[in-house]
Amino acid sequence: MDKKKILIIFLIFIVVLSAVLILSKKISVKEKSVGLEEEKAKNCEIKEEKIVVRGNSLEPLIKDGQEVRALIGYYDCNEIKRDDIVLYSYVGSKEPLIKIVKGIPGDKFELEKTKDGWHILINGKVLVNSEGKPYLISERGYKVLSLYEKDYKNTIPEDAYLILGNLPTGSFDSTEFGLVGRKEILGKVEK
């Protein structure tokens, strides 16, 4: 055989060998990724608790005195989504709060002045409650949330969430204590 044929065969061999190695590495990475997800699911303990709601901040969605199911640890294995009803551990309260997730990491966040107060805009749209009524927050709520608007350049940061009650005029929620961290969200609430 001449040198050109040997060189071509050698190059083909190198290309095939490289392709096999790359493919096997991708399969190995995928298997490890699937293994991590399975391991995470195995280590995820979700504890179910019955909770009686105290207060009217979620009416008419959830009423004062209504019993709900709390899935404690649910977000150790699942993503927190917009409009999830969550159980939030507030430092100043013995009992956790139940609120609705209205803003998630990466959302564009703005406050808009109206003649009667302030609207909260997420991704350019005015936030509304479960009845379609826009939230209208007070000057105090504006002062609390405007700090985040300025500090984070109108974007909700990683692991931070905007949680609100269902009353359009506000309740004891992010308009009072600001954005909340993922670690303070104890679980998901189901009616």
**Chain length of the chain:** 191
Domain that holds residue 149: 47-190
pLDDT in tens, 161-171: 999 999 998 89
Q: Are residues 30 and 55 in the same domain?
A: no
Query: Domain count of the chain?
Result: 2
Looking at residue 140, its pLDDT comes to 93
CB 53 within 8 A of CB 66: yes
Q: Are residues 69 and 111 in the same domain?
A: yes
CATH of the domain at 122: 2.10.109.10
Q: Are residues 11 and 88 in the same domain?
A: no
Q: Are residues 96 and 32 in the same domain?
A: no
Q: Are residues 23 and 104 in the same domain?
A: no
Q: Are residues 138 and 177 in the same domain?
A: yes
Q: Where are the alpha helices (DSSP H) in the chain?
A: 3-42, 139-151, 174-177
Q: Are residues 142 and 176 in the same domain?
A: yes
Q: Are residues 12 and 81 in the same domain?
A: no
Q: Are residues 57 and 92 in the same domain?
A: yes
Q: Are residues 33 and 73 in the same domain?
A: no
Q: Are residues 30 and 114 in the same domain?
A: no
Non-local (6+) Cβ contacts of 155 within 8 A are 106, 107, 108, 109
Q: Are residues 92 and 184 in the same domain?
A: yes
pLDDT in tens, 147-184: 988 889 999 999 999 999 999 988 999 999 999 999 99
pTM: 0.77
